[in-house]
Chains A and B, each alone.
Chain A
Amino acid sequence: MPDPEARRWVGKRYKRKEDLRLLIGEGKFVDDIQLPKMKHAAIIRSPYPHALIKNIDTTQAEKLPGVRGILTGQDVKEMSKPFPCGVPIPPKYYSCAVDKVRYVGEPVAVVVADSRYIAEDALDLIQVDYEPLPVVMDIEEAAEPDAPVLHDNIGSNIYSHRLMQYGEPAKAFEEADLLVKGKFLFPKYGSTPIETYAVVASYNPVNQEFVIYNNYQGPFVNHSLVALALGIPENKMRWIVPTDIGGGFGTKTGVFPYIALIALASKKTGMTVKWIEDRREHLLASATGTDRVTYMEAAVKRDGTILALKDKAMDNTGGYIRAPEPGCAYRSTGNHTGAYQIRHLDREVMVVGTNKCLTSPNRGYTCQELYFSVERLVDMVAAQLGMDPAEIRFKNFIQPDQFPYTTATGGIYDAGNYQKAFQKALDIVDYPKWRQEQEKARQQGRYIGIGIATIVDPSVTNIAYVTTALTPEQRAKGHPKSGSGESMTIKMDPLGQVHVIACTNPQGQGHETVISQIVADELGIDPDGITVSNVVDTHDRVYTITTGSYSSRFASVGTNALVNATRKLKDKLFKIAAHLLEVSPDELVLENQKFHVKDQPEKSIAVRHVAGTAHWHQTALPEGMDVGLFASSLITMPTSKPPDELDRVDSSNTYGFCCEVIVVEIDPETCEIKFHKWASMHDSGTVLNPMILEGQVMGSITHGLGGALYEEFAYDENGQCLTASFQDYLCPTSMEVPDIDIGHVETPSPFTALGSKGAGEASCESVPVAVANAIADALAPLGVVINELPLTPSKIWHLIKEAKAKQA
């Protein structure tokens, strides 16, 4: 294995292979699929948050020239079953509303027509009679026994509820010198990928097979779920995800119900149907992260040691709950205590429903909600103890010599040096200088604040975590789940060129590029000559239920599978070369595309000839060896085990570290925020391509900034969505993002072949709370309580006004 110093391509700023085709409009997206006699779908959606559907009259719409058919909830109910979901009593969630709507934007019927224009004309002609029902929008109210109930078959709005304890929290709370608590509200927000959901579905009545092009991002467990819902064998439904997806971020896990819906529209009408979601639909009814209410309390010693945490977290998945939820509550189990050595936990976990649109993982998945509470609370603890917020973090960090470190909740942190990374960030910002500036500023009536967040970024999901939604007793009765498998195949053609078949299903992360770099290093070839296909095809590709790009898993389990497969191929090449040269493989060296005996350069054979032999002279190969040159690897991370009977689980398998140190100033009149200095330090293990990583980090920082100051899927108290266009759902643009010093520390993971860990989500998890901490710090003299997002100037202005009134 080439040692890190000898890497020629991994770790270099190798230019992305994907960019040219994307920049000149030659990317291959679902909307580029044009099939013969293809029709177009439009969806009529509920304007009510909670209502009975008394009647749907489609007669006028059906008569409109160009309309080919209409699918209603009744059809969907007859043609499919509700989607399974990992909670004790799942709601009856179909791909279309049946009898009742439960959020504004819920699909009520689908029109198939010759064009999208005509389909939308037909929507105007559909008469739906609704009988509005009482609405429930507030998370805590929804959990009350007298709340309007969304699903009669469940009887309450609580989809999931568990109590979990680790260590001896009661004892720790008794031994504490100080208890500090807070209530924290995390908003509903999401990633709004530039490409919206897209589905092209055909049903072949002759072989009863569906062929569905779509931009689903994984995990492919949902392929099985959709098959179950449609009541068909999985091998009768072929999903093809094309080469290019315009952004996923977890949001494109939520396209699966629409895959089912358009598939049914295709079956009913007998036509190939294309549906491209428009932006308004996306902002109303695609998928967002959960909003969450958290009560969290820390048991602390006077010296700043945090002994225990006690928290009640209530996540809102909206009008229904659907897979992979209740992941929103359980996926961060292994890293619940973040970067700290906290051994005692008392957790109450609740997942509820309100009349809001539905959820899916959203870049960072659960960790932005979790760390918003933990990191705010750590700052509050520091303030109460009169301790510097940087100091208290150093006090509680896991030490470098403790890795691999097993957390109280079963997470196995592979590698890290939190102190080094954090100190680096503080140095870049010149932390002591800014504390002095802050003092001066306070005397002048200016509000300068320093916000800190230090977090552990989990990557590679172990699907076992889903079963922590069940109690140990319930798990013992059911079937265990575990794993994080990914698939890679590599082949060398008769003329010696290399092609990789990846199933990682990227949505812009540059896998084609990084795969080329890795294979180039392993085989000593030029990355330019390597080709990669990453179309996922459930018929023609080898994959498993965990396949896909989500949870930043490419850099770990994806690269593990790739390196594994490549080494198998290399091993085979060595064996064939040795066989042909009549030496043993360990006598050979591979240099400059040639195998030669050590110290005997004239005894050699070109790689090209080895490849040629494998294909052209098949009986010359060693006894029992497969002909040709290909190798596959479909492997899991070995630490992806099921939860134990104490609810401990390694919910992710590689754990990076990220910290933000942000200096802000709040304009005392307008309450707008200005950034003076910002250091963002990342440890994602071995850096595979610094240029790609920079893009990922900038993206996650910007998205985190969105959650802190700008973005929210907002609803009024009557359940109406207020942010159904980009006029009101505010994504930060380049003008809103300040200059940021991004840095890296590399602590290679012992669990991955190249030492790399996931990287793309870290700042999504740290930035929202770091910005909140900065604002809280700036306003500390006023005693302003900061516990919710987004922090708009208007909100800050009101907080200051109230605080001043209280002080007076």
Chain B
Amino acid sequence: MKPAAFDYIAPKTVEEVISLLTTHEDEAKILAGGQSLMPIMNFRLGRPGLLIDINGLDELDYIKQQDDHLLIGGLTRERTVERSPLVRDLCPLLSQAISFVGHTAIRNRGTVGGSLVHADPSGEIPTAFCALDGRVKAVGPDGERWIDPGEFFLTFLTTSLEPTELLVEVKVPVLPQGTGWSFMELSRRVGDFAIIGVATLLFMNGDGTCREARIALGGVAPTPFRAEEAEEVLAGQAIGEELISRAGELAGEAADAEDDYHASAEYRQEMAKIMVSRSLRQALARTGKGN
């Protein structure tokens, strides 16, 4: 398991990175945490001609609040986000989701930007990002642009980022006080890829009814996705057990799971239903309005 030969360069600025990407396009890969890229290269499943090591770009490592959003630099380590009091206070869904990413050693190196660009269909950060309607900022030869939530994940391991672009920033909303949130995952062992990952948000009205519900599922489709029919059933309602079950069922139906060695498609489908219900219950309890 030794990689094929590759060239290596460690640029010092974002401009250099873009310039390299523009020259090499598909032949180059960005090296950030390397937690997904290194195994791919060591297995020789992928053989990029050039590795562009961005670990020196400290300016991309930050977490800050800007009004009602959190801005997280693309190179911020997962462990940094996991331990950040700012994130825990203002966007706890993200903190909890990240705690499920692999093991501590992996999170010490893995980056938020890298995880999003890698776009593993069962990835915890992509799934939470989906529920949060997060946006990403990409920088390319034509300047910078923001990519909207629904447009970022295209299919397995594929995003709408151009080969000449670098993801530099992630923007997620600050969750209003009283918002219910939950991230849950079913996996074979602690730290494994999720058989199903669920991220839920309940934005509440003053009278205790739910203004808006968000339910994102990972691991049961080519990308994480929002179970919109299930969300609609909850919107505007006082949420109780019956609605939670109904939402769970609809979410389960929306899942498009495959058989594999670890679990059957039927089991995954059923677990989508179960885990969505459990996650909604946990989110509801966190609003302080559940009974």
Please indicate whether A and B come from the same complex rather than being unrelated chains.
yes
Within A652-678, the residues touching B (CB, 8 Å) are 669-670, 672
Are A730 and B270 touching (Cβ within 8 A)?
no
Determine whether A794 belongs to the interface, using a CB cutoff of 8 Å to chain B.
yes
Are B271 and A670 touching (Cβ within 8 A)?
yes
Which residue in chain A gives the minimum CB-CB distance to B196?
A670
Q: How far is the CA of A669 from the CA of B267 in the complex (A)?
A: 10
Q: How far is the CA of A124 from the CA of B3 in the complex (A)?
A: 12
Are A792 and B188 touching (Cβ within 8 A)?
yes
Task: Evaluate whether A117 and B5 lie within 8 angstroms (CB atoms) in the complex, with A670-B271, A728-B262, A797-B267 already known.
Answer: yes
Are B274 and A730 touching (Cβ within 8 A)?
no
Are B186 and A121 touching (Cβ within 8 A)?
no
Are A117 and B2 touching (Cβ within 8 A)?
yes
Task: Evaluate whether A730 and B188 lie within 8 angstroms (CB atoms) in the complex, with A120-B44, A670-B271 already known.
Answer: yes
Choose one: B2, B263, B264, B271; the contact of A120 (CB below 8 Å).
Answer: B2
Are A792 and B262 touching (Cβ within 8 A)?
yes
Which B residues are CB-close (under 8 A) to A714? 261
Are B189 and A733 touching (Cβ within 8 A)?
yes
Q: How far is the CA of A670 from the CA of B187 in the complex (A)?
A: 11
Which A residues are CB-close (under 8 A) to B154? none
Which A residues are CB-close (under 8 A) to B275? 670
Q: How far is the CA of A278 from the CA of B3 in the complex (A)?
A: 13
Determine whether B190 belongs to the interface, using a CB cutoff of 8 Å to chain A.
yes
Task: Evaluate whether A798 and B261 lie within 8 angstroms (CB atoms) in the complex, with A120-B44, A735-B190 already known.
Answer: no
Are B186 and A670 touching (Cβ within 8 A)?
yes
Q: How far is the CA of A360 from the CA of B76 in the complex (A)?
A: 47
Determine whether B43 belongs to the interface, using a CB cutoff of 8 Å to chain A.
yes
Indicate with 1 or 0, residue by residue over B268-284, a CB within 8 angstroms of chain A CB atoms. Answer: 00110011000000000
Which B residues are CB-close (under 8 A) to A723? 261
Which A residues are CB-close (under 8 A) to B266? 798
Which A residues are CB-close (under 8 A) to B261? 714, 722-723, 728
Q: How far is the CA of A798 from the CA of B191 in the complex (A)?
A: 25
Which B residues are CB-close (under 8 A) to A181? none
Determine whether B4 belongs to the interface, using a CB cutoff of 8 Å to chain A.
yes
Determine whether A388 belongs to the interface, using a CB cutoff of 8 Å to chain B.
no
How close is B110's CB to chain A, nearest CB, in angstroms? 16
Which residue in chain A gives the minimum CB-CB distance to B3?
A117
Secondary structure type dominating chain B contacts: loop
Which B residues are CB-close (under 8 A) to A672? 186
Which B residues are CB-close (under 8 A) to A732? 189
How close is A795's CB to chain B, nearest CB, in angstroms? 9
Q: How far is the CA of A789 from the CA of B141 in the complex (A)?
A: 55
Which residue in chain A gives the minimum CB-CB distance to B270?
A797
Which B residues are CB-close (under 8 A) to A793? 263, 267
Determine whether B181 belongs to the interface, using a CB cutoff of 8 Å to chain A.
no
Choose one: A121, A280, A727, A730; the contact of B1 (CB below 8 Å).
Answer: A280
Which residue in chain A gives the minimum CB-CB distance to B47?
A124
Which B residues are CB-close (under 8 A) to A710? 188-189
Determine whether B100 belongs to the interface, using a CB cutoff of 8 Å to chain A.
no
Are A730 and B264 touching (Cβ within 8 A)?
no
Determine whether B144 belongs to the interface, using a CB cutoff of 8 Å to chain A.
no
Which A residues are CB-close (under 8 A) to B152? none
Within A271-315, the residues touching B (CB, 8 Å) are 278-280
Tell me how many residues of B have a C-beta within 8 Å of chain A.
24
Which B residues are CB-close (under 8 A) to A725? 43
Are A727 and B274 touching (Cβ within 8 A)?
no
Are B263 and A792 touching (Cβ within 8 A)?
yes
Determine whether A268 belongs to the interface, using a CB cutoff of 8 Å to chain B.
no
Indicate with 1 or 0, residue by residue over B69-96, a CB within 8 angstroms of chain A CB atoms. Answer: 0000000000000000000000000000
Q: How far is the CA of A570 from the CA of B119 in the complex (A)?
A: 69
Which A residues are CB-close (under 8 A) to B241? none
Which B residues are CB-close (under 8 A) to A124? 4, 44
How close is B100's CB to chain A, nearest CB, in angstroms? 12
Q: How far is the CA of A714 from the CA of B193 in the complex (A)?
A: 18
Which residue in chain A gives the minimum CB-CB distance to B266?
A798
Determine whether A736 belongs to the interface, using a CB cutoff of 8 Å to chain B.
yes
Which B residues are CB-close (under 8 A) to A594? none
Are A278 and B1 touching (Cβ within 8 A)?
yes
Choose one: A722, A728, A736, A797; the contact of B190 (CB below 8 Å).
Answer: A736
Which A residues are CB-close (under 8 A) to B192? 727, 730
Are B263 and A794 touching (Cβ within 8 A)?
yes
How close is B184's CB to chain A, nearest CB, in angstroms? 11
Q: How far is the CA of A592 from the CA of B14 in the complex (A)?
A: 74
Determine whether A442 belongs to the interface, using a CB cutoff of 8 Å to chain B.
no
Determine whether A116 belongs to the interface, using a CB cutoff of 8 Å to chain B.
yes
Which B residues are CB-close (under 8 A) to A736? 189-190
Are B4 and A730 touching (Cβ within 8 A)?
no
Which B residues are CB-close (under 8 A) to A120? 2, 4, 44
Which A residues are CB-close (under 8 A) to B274? 669-670
Which A residues are CB-close (under 8 A) to B264? 794, 798
Are A279 and B1 touching (Cβ within 8 A)?
yes
Task: Evaluate whether A733 and B191 lie within 8 angstroms (CB atoms) in the complex, with A794-B262, A797-B267 already known.
Answer: yes
Indicate with 1 or 0, residue by residue over B244-277, a CB within 8 angstroms of chain A CB atoms. Answer: 0000000000000000011110110011001100
Within B1-33, the residues touching A (CB, 8 Å) are 1-5
Q: How far is the CA of A259 from the CA of B267 in the complex (A)?
A: 45
Within A712-735, the residues touching B (CB, 8 Å) are 714, 722-723, 725, 727-728, 730, 732-733, 735
Which A residues are CB-close (under 8 A) to B1? 278-280
Are A727 and B193 touching (Cβ within 8 A)?
yes
Which residue in chain B gives the minimum CB-CB distance to A797?
B267
Which A residues are CB-close (under 8 A) to B191? 733, 735
How close is A281's CB to chain B, nearest CB, in angstroms? 8
Which residue in chain B gives the minimum CB-CB distance to A732?
B189
Which B residues are CB-close (under 8 A) to A670? 186, 271, 274-275
Task: Evaluate whether A730 and B189 lie within 8 angstroms (CB atoms) in the complex, with A120-B2, A723-B261 already known.
Answer: yes
How close is B245's CB to chain A, nearest CB, in angstroms? 12
Q: How far is the CA of A672 from the CA of B274 in the complex (A)?
A: 13
How close is B16's CB to chain A, nearest CB, in angstroms? 28
Indicate with 1 or 0, residue by residue over A115-128, a CB within 8 angstroms of chain B CB atoms. Answer: 01100110010000
Q: How far is the CA of A671 from the CA of B5 in the complex (A)?
A: 46
Which A residues are CB-close (under 8 A) to B4? 120-121, 124
Are B2 and A116 touching (Cβ within 8 A)?
yes
Which residue in chain A gives the minimum CB-CB distance to B264?
A794
Which residue in chain B gives the minimum CB-CB distance to A120?
B2
Indicate with 1 or 0, residue by residue over B187-204, a CB within 8 angstroms of chain A CB atoms. Answer: 011111100000000000
How close is A266's CB to chain B, nearest CB, in angstroms? 21
Q: How far is the CA of A647 from the CA of B88 in the complex (A)?
A: 69
Which A residues are CB-close (under 8 A) to B44? 120, 124
Are A798 and B190 touching (Cβ within 8 A)?
no
Which A residues are CB-close (under 8 A) to B43? 280, 725
Are B5 and A121 touching (Cβ within 8 A)?
yes
Choose one: B186, B189, B193, B267; the contact of A735 (CB below 8 Å).
Answer: B189
Which B residues are CB-close (under 8 A) to A117? 2-3, 5
Q: How far is the CA of A124 from the CA of B45 in the complex (A)?
A: 12
Which A residues are CB-close (under 8 A) to B2? 116-117, 120
Which residue in chain B gives the minimum CB-CB distance to A736?
B189
Q: How far is the CA of A83 from the CA of B156 in the complex (A)?
A: 47
Q: How far is the CA of A280 from the CA of B42 in the complex (A)?
A: 11
Query: Would you mind naming 22 contact pairs between A and B with Cβ atoms under 8 Å apart?
Result: A117-B3, A120-B44, A121-B4, A279-B1, A280-B1, A280-B43, A669-B274, A670-B186, A670-B271, A670-B274, A672-B186, A723-B261, A727-B193, A730-B189, A730-B192, A733-B191, A735-B191, A736-B189, A736-B190, A792-B263, A798-B266, A798-B267
Residues of A within 8 A of B (CB): 116-117, 120-121, 124, 278-280, 669-670, 672, 710, 714, 722-723, 725, 727-728, 730, 732-733, 735-736, 792-794, 797-798
Identify 9 new A-B residue pairs, CB closer than 8 A, beyond the known A670-B275, A730-B188, A736-B189.
Answer: A120-B44, A670-B186, A723-B261, A725-B43, A730-B189, A730-B192, A733-B190, A792-B188, A792-B263
Residues of B within 8 A of A (CB): 1-5, 43-44, 186, 188-193, 261-264, 266-267, 270-271, 274-275
Q: Which 9 A-B pairs have the closest CB atoms?
A: A794-B263, A735-B190, A794-B267, A278-B1, A117-B2, A669-B274, A722-B261, A120-B2, A797-B267
